[in-house]
Amino acid sequence: MRVFHRKRWLTPYLLLAPGMLWLALFFLVPLGFLFYQSLESGNIDFGYAFTWAWGNYSSAIRSYRGQFERSFEYAGIATVVAFLVSYPVAYWIAFRGGRWKNLLLLFIVAPFFVTYLIRTLAWETILSDNGFVVRILHDIGVLSPGGRLLATGTAVVAGITYNFLPFMALPLYVSLEQIDQRLIEAAEDLYASRWAAFIRVTFPLSLPGVVAGTLLTFIPAAGDFINAELLGSPTNHMIGNVIESKYKELLDYPAAASMSFILMAIILAMILLYARAVGTEQLTG
Amino acid sequence: MAPATAEYDIRLIGLTKRFDDVVAVDGISLDIDRGHFFALLGPSGCGKTTTLRMIGGFEEPTEGRIELGGVDVAPLPPYKRDVNTVFQSYALFPHLSIFENVAFGLRRRGVKAGEVRRRVVESLDLVGLAGLEKRKPRQLSGGQQQRIALARALVNRPRVLLLDEPLGALDLKLRKEMQLELKRIQHEVGITFVHVTHDQEEAMTMADRIVIMNGGHIEQLGTPSELYERPRTAFVAGFLGASNLLEATVSGDDRVTLAEGSVVQLPHGMLAGRTGTVQIGVRPEKLRIGEGDTNSLSGIVTESAYIGVSTQYIVDTPAGPVTVYVQNDRTGGQVAAGERLTLSWSPESTFVVDAQEGTL
Amino acid sequence: MTSVAVPLRSRRGTLAAAVAFARRHVLTVYSLLFFAYLMLPIGVVIAFSFNDPKGRFNYTWQGFTWKNWEQWNAIPDLQSAIQLSLLIALIASIVATLLGTLVALALVRYGFRGRAATNLLVFLPLSTPEIVLGASLLTLFLNLTSVLPIGFWTILIAHIMFCISFAVVTVKARLIGFDRHLEEAAMDLGANELTTFTKVTLPLIAPAILAALLLCFAISIDDFVVTYFNAGNRVTFPIFVWGAARVATPPQINVIGTAIFVVAVTLMLANVVFQNRRAKQA
């Protein structure tokens, strides 16, 4: 008769097993392999051997410091811009959207429905030297004659911002939408101006969305290489471009592996710092 | 009233539930007679809902037995127990029609289609909602949903029906209506009802037996009038209506002396061997203004509040503040604050409670 | 004089009204501009699917034509790339949603040891840059080439891996709002665990499962980075676009991009309309 309860004890593990096994085998184990490989030395012609080659890490930082710094700079700017640009819209949909909310959300995620590479190519078209954007900027004198947008850092940051914008806007919307309107009314009842009510009540309550949005934007942005490849020039290359070429073209696996690990370590360190600043419970939900 | 040899529908023996370090239910033992309307009453967190959930099979007891018609069902899952529950949130399946909601239990037991239809219609009739079969739960009002939840449980003709604060979400008028309705239905079907509530008035109106729980223990079990007239603990005296509790010293067979020296006569046998300091109580409405009864106290009126059918006074006596309700059956005769008042009451209206709470 | 002053005043009035309108609706105006910005590249993609480019690159507008739509598969290897992408996305989304739903059920429904570790393992792939996911998987697969050649199966394994976390998160969100009493009520009415799941739990979380399925499908069919590392010589649609971007960008790429967009938007619109109708019924 006790069978019922004994089975119950096992149930969660049976449910978890297939999915967790998959993640363990094809996420954790590969990370282990990557770490192993990052400590190998040798070359592609004679093969690589494990030699505790910590030097890979120091030489990666020494040789590609610029690309590392640029990755985080571009990702940081893109994240801040995406936040500033999409917060008002998320607010507008959450509080003024009414029965159109779902439709407006559809507009927010619409870019996702165009293949990533294709929408980046579209920006290449828009920002190209004889496109209308450059022409207008020439006409109003923002861009000097002969100045261009394509193949500049600005174009790369703009591309990253656009591509990850829905990652920022959606969590912002979700957290704003959950705010009880009566709390804002209560704040106004207690003599808060509309602006004070926003700063003291609405914004703090939307923080979980801000946290989720920044992480979801910053992390993929820091590892991106597509925007730099299609919209930038080699002087705009990020660490993703270096890892990609080491892996796919130069077949210098240990160097690429060590750079991947440095990238991940820096991102994790930033997440932890961020978590300490805003509170952990907002991170994993 | 059922004779003393009545069959027990439910028997709880040393039932205990611990959640990590918290003891929600602390070794309670209780017999529930067949055909009674039984109420588990207590403040939130007293363990009444946990007790009900253990009977229903949703929580596994840490220790103890739950006998249903003489069989220990503690290890059985809910679907193997002959009890049904009316949930506080009603828990109507939102994706199923009213008919399918009510038919759910019958279908699980393989009842034939014709019989299912007949019994569903019959039970919707019983709760006065015939004709709503095709609707979805969210198209119904709160009161209607409550009745459907009742019909869905009763249609299975369980040995015991468990009700977990079923009226909590209804407004006052509807709640009053449903209290009488539930009592009527219980009479009609004759099934044992176990009703969990924190509302003492609701319990008094509906139940013929009430268990008052506090801190995982049973404080007292009895009929509504037993509990009201003869509360055995300070907790029961305070939870069920209002009481004046006064400290006193035993000074004779049926007699105690209050702090300021006046003697209070008690019903015969009430002290039952107690000595030393005790607490005696009297209900505010049992006090009369003026001399005339055996026991009396006097003091200064400090507050008076007119509340329609009665006026409530707080009188500061040497034995402590005493609350009095005086029926407004005649016009005039209001006593103002600051006036001196003598109160008296009969020995029969006096009760004795245990000094400390939480013991049976 | 007055005959002149009246229209003048009214013109100033309309200007003031327009300014007042803009001030009052500054957020609305801004939001509309934002949406225009979001839609701009999409409009370009759609427009250029009708372009008739002279050279190898489809970057400047030359003239309108239906040709690209009529001969959408005229480019060698494009059709097979699309077929591969669809097949991978179909299998990956089904498997990942199944595995993810089970994990979500365990996480929301049961207390068990190792819950924090499980949450972490679900969260980590979401917070790892794609390039690291792709590179680490490639490192593993390079060591397994004798038993598992890099190609179809390695793409599929990778896609299921990064879809699982998304499926868990999607289904979990719905399960958290799920009234546990509904399952207790089913058991109370005689349904055992399996019947409770199929008759009550499953119908109620079906929308979340469908959402997870669609999300996984969309992520899989759009994935470039992880696939690029683990595809060997197989070519999915994004890899085809990547290769094309360096040598030539045939307008057929825009045709396919537009088609995917239209199908996705239609599905989402249908979902919005369906949900609105359901909400109205309530």
**pLDDT tens for residues B282-334?**
999 999 888 888 898 989 999 988 888 888 999 999 888 999 998 888 766 67
Residue from the list C190, C192, C200 with its beta carbon closest to the beta carbon of B105: C190
- In angstroms, the separation between the Cα of residue A20 and the nearest Cα of chain B is 28
Yes or no, beta carbons of A110 and C121 under 8 Å apart: no
Yes or no, beta carbons of B109 and C190 under 8 Å apart: yes
Yes or no, beta carbons of A1 and B76 under 8 Å apart: yes
- Share the mean pLDDT of chain C: 87
Range of the domain at C97: 78-249
For residues C83 and C37, state if they share a domain: no
CA dist., res. A258 & res. A57, Å (int): 6
Could you tell me how far CA C81 lies from the centroid of its own chain?
19
Looking at the domain assignment, is residue C200 inside a domain? yes
Token pair, residue B291, equals 């001399």
- In angstroms, the separation between the Cα of residue C198 and the nearest Cα of chain B is 12
Q: What's the per-residue H, E or C state across chain B?
A: CCCCCCCEEEEEEEEEEEECCEEEEEEEEEEEECCCEEEEECCCCCCHHHHHHHHHCCCCCCEEEEEECCEECCCCCHHHCCEEEECCCCCCCCCCCHHHHHHHHHHHCCCCHHHHHHHHHHHHHHCCCCCCCCCCHHHCCHHHHHHHHHHHHHCCCCCEEEEECCCCCCCHHHHHHHHHHHHHHHHHHCCEEEEEECCHHHHHHHCCEEEEEECCEEEEEECHHHHHHCCCEHHHHHHCCCCEEEEEEEEECCEEEECCCCEEECCCCCCCCCCCEEEEEECHHHCEECCCCCEEEEEEEEEEEECCCEEEEEEEECCEEEEEEEECCCCCCCCCCCCEEEEEECHHHEEEEECCCCCC
Chains interfacing with A (3 or more CB pairs < 8 Å): B, C
Residue from the list B89, B95, B109 with its beta carbon closest to the beta carbon of C179: B89
Q: Does position C3 have pLDDT exceeding 90, yes or no?
A: no
Looking at the domain assignment, is residue C60 inside a domain? no
Most confident of A40-54, B77-91, B248-262, C241-255: B77-91
User: Across residues A92-118, what is the average pLDDT?
Assistant: 88
pLDDT at A271: 85
State pLDDT tens for residues C92-121: 999 999 999 999 999 988 888 888 899 999
Residue B154: which of B86, B90, B68 has the closest Cα? B86
For residues C231 and C152, state if they share a domain: yes
> Quick one: CA torsion of A71, A77, A80, A84, rounded to 10 degrees?
-140
Residue B218 β-bridge partners: B213
Q: What is the 8-class DSSP label of residue A43?
A: E
Chain B residue closest to A8 (CA)? B77
Query: Which residue has tokens 């449910």?
Result: A15
Chain B residue closest to A2 (CA)? B75
Q: Is A5 on the interface with B (CB under 8 A)?
A: yes
- In angstroms, the separation between the Cα of residue A147 and the nearest Cα of chain C is 19
Q: Is A6 on the interface with C (CB under 8 A)?
A: no
- Provide CATH code, domain B8-229: 3.40.50.300
| pLDDT more than 70, % of chain B | 96
The CATH number of the domain holding residue C163 is: 1.10.3720.10
Label residue C169 exposed, middle or buried (CB < 10 Å: 0-12, 13-18, 19+): middle
pLDDT at A263: 94
Residue B219: which of B16, B21, B40, B38 has the closest Cα? B40
Yes or no, beta carbons of B76 and A5 under 8 Å apart: no
pLDDT at B355: 63
Looking at the domain assignment, is residue C48 inside a domain? no
pLDDT at C279: 65
Within 10 Å of residue A211's Cβ, how many Cβ atoms? 20
pLDDT at C75: 84
The strand ranges marked E within chain A are: 40-43, 47-50
Residue from the list B58, B139, B156 with its beta carbon closest to the beta carbon of C184: B58
Residue C145: which of C136, C132, C154, C156 has the closest Cα? C154
- In angstroms, the separation between the Cα of residue C248 and the nearest Cα of chain A is 12
Q: Does position B5 have pLDDT exceeding 80, yes or no?
A: no
Domains of chain A, by residue range, sit at: 64-284
Chain A residues closer than 8 Å to C158 by CB: 26
Chain C residues closer than 8 Å to A232 by CB: none
Residue from the list A110, A261, A271 with its beta carbon closest to the beta carbon of C265: A110
Yes or no, beta carbons of B76 and A4 under 8 Å apart: yes
pLDDT at B1: 41
Name the pLDDT band for B346 (thresholds 50, 70, 90).
Answer: very high
Mutate to test the interface with A, among B58, B60, B65, B66 (most CBs of A within 10 A): B60
Lowest-confidence pick of A245-254, B41-50, B190-199, C33-42: A245-254
Q: Does position C58 have pLDDT exceeding 80, yes or no?
A: no
Q: Does position C138 have pLDDT exceeding 90, yes or no?
A: yes
pLDDT at A191: 84
Label residue A52 exposed, middle or buried (CB < 10 Å: 0-12, 13-18, 19+): exposed
Contact between B25 and B54 under an 8 Å Cβ cutoff? The reply is yes
- In angstroms, the separation between the Cα of residue C104 and the nearest Cα of chain B is 21
User: Across residues C5-33, what is the average pLDDT?
Assistant: 74
Residue from the list C30, C102, C225 with its beta carbon closest to the beta carbon of A15: C102
Looking at the domain assignment, is residue C273 inside a domain? no
Chain A residue closest to B61 (CA)? A5
How many Å is the Cα radius of gyration of chain B? Answer: 24
User: Across residues C217-245, what is the average pLDDT?
Assistant: 93
| pLDDT more than 70, % of chain C | 94
Domain count, chain C: 2
- In angstroms, the separation between the Cα of residue A281 and the nearest Cα of chain B is 23
CATH of B242-353, one of 2.40.50.140, 3.40.50.920, 3.30.420.40, 3.90.1300.10: 2.40.50.140
pLDDT at A16: 94
Lowest-confidence pick of A278-282, B280-284, C177-181: A278-282
Chain B residue closest to A3 (CA)? B75
Residue C139: which of A252, B302, B174, B115 has the closest Cα? A252
Chain C residues closer than 8 Å to B78 by CB: 184, 187-188
Q: Does position B344 have pLDDT exceeding 80, yes or no?
A: yes
pLDDT at C39: 93
Mutate to test the interface with A, among C127, C194, C219, C271 (most CBs of A within 10 A): C127
pLDDT at A4: 45
Looking at the domain assignment, is residue C94 inside a domain? yes
CA dist., res. B131 & res. B350, Å (int): 54
Q: What is the greatest pairwise CA distance in chain C?
A: 96
Number of inter-chain CB pairs under 8 A, A vs C: 232
Chains interfacing with B (3 or more CB pairs < 8 Å): A, C
State pLDDT tens for residues A17-49: 999 999 999 999 999 999 999 999 888 778 888
Contact between A259 and C132 under an 8 Å Cβ cutoff? The reply is no
Name the pLDDT band for B251 (thresholds 50, 70, 90).
Answer: confident
Name the pLDDT band for B91 (thresholds 50, 70, 90).
Answer: very high
Yes or no, beta carbons of C188 and B95 under 8 Å apart: no
Starting at the edge strand found earlier in the chain, the sheet holding B244-252 runs B263-265, B255-258, B244-252, B277-282, B350-353
Q: Is A170 on the interface with C (CB under 8 A)?
A: no
- In angstroms, the separation between the Cα of residue B258 and the nearest Cα of chain A is 52
Residues of B with CB under 8 A from a CB of A: 60, 75-77
- In angstroms, the separation between the Cα of residue C201 and the nearest Cα of chain B is 10
Q: Does position B231 have pLDDT exceeding 50, yes or no?
A: yes
Yes or no, beta carbons of C140 and A88 under 8 Å apart: no
pLDDT at B332: 61
Q: Is A253 on the interface with C (CB under 8 A)?
A: yes
Q: Does position A240 have pLDDT exceeding 70, yes or no?
A: yes
Most confident of A141-145, B318-322, B351-355: B318-322
Chain C residues closer than 8 Å to B196 by CB: none
User: Across residues B247-264, what is the average pLDDT?
Assistant: 87
Q: Is A267 on the interface with C (CB under 8 A)?
A: yes
Q: Does position C142 have pLDDT exceeding 50, yes or no?
A: yes
Query: Which residue has tokens 């501009």?
Result: C33
Number of inter-chain CB pairs under 8 A, A vs B: 8
CA dist., res. B41 & res. B167, Å (int): 14
Yes or no, beta carbons of B91 and C184 under 8 Å apart: yes
Name the pLDDT band for A7 (thresholds 50, 70, 90).
Answer: low
Chain B residues closer than 8 Å to C192 by CB: 77, 79
Residue C230: which of C146, C128, C125, C131 has the closest Cα? C131
pLDDT at C111: 80
The architecture of the domain spanning A64-284 is: Orthogonal Bundle (1.10)
How many Å is the Cα radius of gyration of chain C? Answer: 26
Q: What is the 8-class DSSP label of residue C51?
A: B
Domains of chain B, by residue range, sit at: 8-229, 242-353
User: Across residues A251-275, what is the average pLDDT?
Assistant: 90
Contact between A8 and B76 under an 8 Å Cβ cutoff? The reply is no
